[in-house]
Amino acid sequence: MVVWNTTRKCNLSCSHCYINAVGEEEEPDNGELTTREAIDMIDDLVAIKSPMLVFSGGEPLLRDDLYDLNVYAMKQGLRTILSTNSTLITREAAKKIKEAGFAYVGVSLDGTEKVHDKFRGAEGAFEKSIQGLRYLMEAGVKTGVRFAITNQNYNELSKVLEVTRSEKIPRFSLFQLVYGGRGKEIIDWDIFNDQRREVMDYVIKEARESNGMNIVTADNYADGIYLLQDVAEHEPERAAEVEKLLSMQSGCPAGDGLANIDNRGDVHLCPYWQSRTIGNIRERKFSEIWFDEEIEILARMRDKTRYLKDKCGRCKLNHLCKGCRVRAEVACGDPFGEDPACYLTEEEISGEKVRLLNTR
């Protein structure tokens, strides 16, 4: 999967933006990829059979050629996703999104009105986002809410989940803080690891009682192991199935199953890792960069478990997780160090708990 930051321009100024988006007036000529360059990029992704392209930003709706590019990508067989704050989505825009063929639209909602507006740096952002979501649902677009949890909105989780449910939005994604872009400036906003366990207990309970809503977590791959333990204890007949799915997903995909191309064509190991650039598609095709065996960090990222250290290295289940390599680099100075957001105990990372539960 490739996440493309179509533009760095944005109409909001979010506290945790990983690309440090700016207002249009601040960067009138930011050297973003032209329509022709974007088409060439899409052709290259199709040629290497990339399964998915995410149109992200900034705010991708500020790009005039967004719909045309998506139609082109879709016709080439790429599954496409739109990542937006939805404040610019009118009824007409929602219809265009539907007609352009986006498979899914993810909308960020980080709290109820007061909290969300503070996160977004704009009064009225919450109401505009909700209205945009309603227009998307009305147009028949598959849509979901994304909530990035911090200590600033920890108590908002249940409220936003209820908003998602009351609006009949079928998917809710819980994201953790990753220390990239502005996220690196607010590390002290991150929640404690005991809170992560509480959040997972709550989310698992809500998922079991969701009545059709799809609830997922992202950006903390220890969640998969925690979920596996829960399933092994409460639904042992499903444990093997869950473990198989986690093995297929194989934890942190950075530099392996996930890549990022930013607005200027720089290639990164993942969207949050803007501090590491491995090439530029204006100089070499993405495919040439991505499959270049001479790029050492790429080779290591594709064999992460071999290089993991400290707690991540000790973990007997690290093939299911691998930890967040961005958080590890920022916290430890080593991309293969310990992910500070791992909340699993020493007993849990030994694998004994899952093994014993599976032998009941």
Residue 228 has a pLDDT of 95
Beta partners for 215?
Answer: 172
Residue 27 has a pLDDT of 60
Query: Among 76, 88, 15, which Cα is nearest to 45's?
Result: 76
Does the domain formed by 2-219 have CATH 3.30.360.10? no
Burial 21-42, CB ≥16 within 10 A → b, else e: bbeeeebeeeebbeeeebbbbb
Global confidence as pTM: 0.95
Residue 124 φ then ψ, to 5°: 90, 0
Rg of the chain, C-alpha, whole Å: 20
Residue 357 has a pLDDT of 58
Give the HSE-up count for residue 34: Cα atoms under 13 Å, Cβ half-sphere.
Answer: 3
DSSP string covering 91-137, please? HHHHHHHHHHT-SEEEEE--SSHHHHHHHHTSTTHHHHHHHHHHHHH
> Along the 360 residues of the chain, how does pLDDT read in single tens digits?
999 999 999 999 999 999 988 887 666 556 899 999 999 999 999 999 999 999 999 999 999 999 999 999 999 999 999 999 999 999 999 999 999 999 999 999 999 999 999 999 999 999 999 999 999 999 999 999 999 999 999 999 999 999 999 999 999 999 999 999 999 999 999 999 999 999 999 999 999 998 889 999 999 999 999 999 999 999 999 999 999 999 999 999 999 999 999 999 999 999 999 999 999 999 999 999 999 999 999 999 999 999 999 999 999 999 999 999 999 999 999 999 999 999 999 999 998 877 655 544
Contact 254, 326 (CB under 8 A): yes
Query: Residue for token digits 């539907």?
Result: 98
Query: Residue for token digits 């444990």?
Result: 239
Residue 360 has a pLDDT of 45
Contact 1, 258 (CB under 8 A): yes
Token pair belonging to 10: 């944005």
DSSP string covering 220-252, please? -THHHHHHHHHHHHH-GGGHHHHHHHHHHH-S-
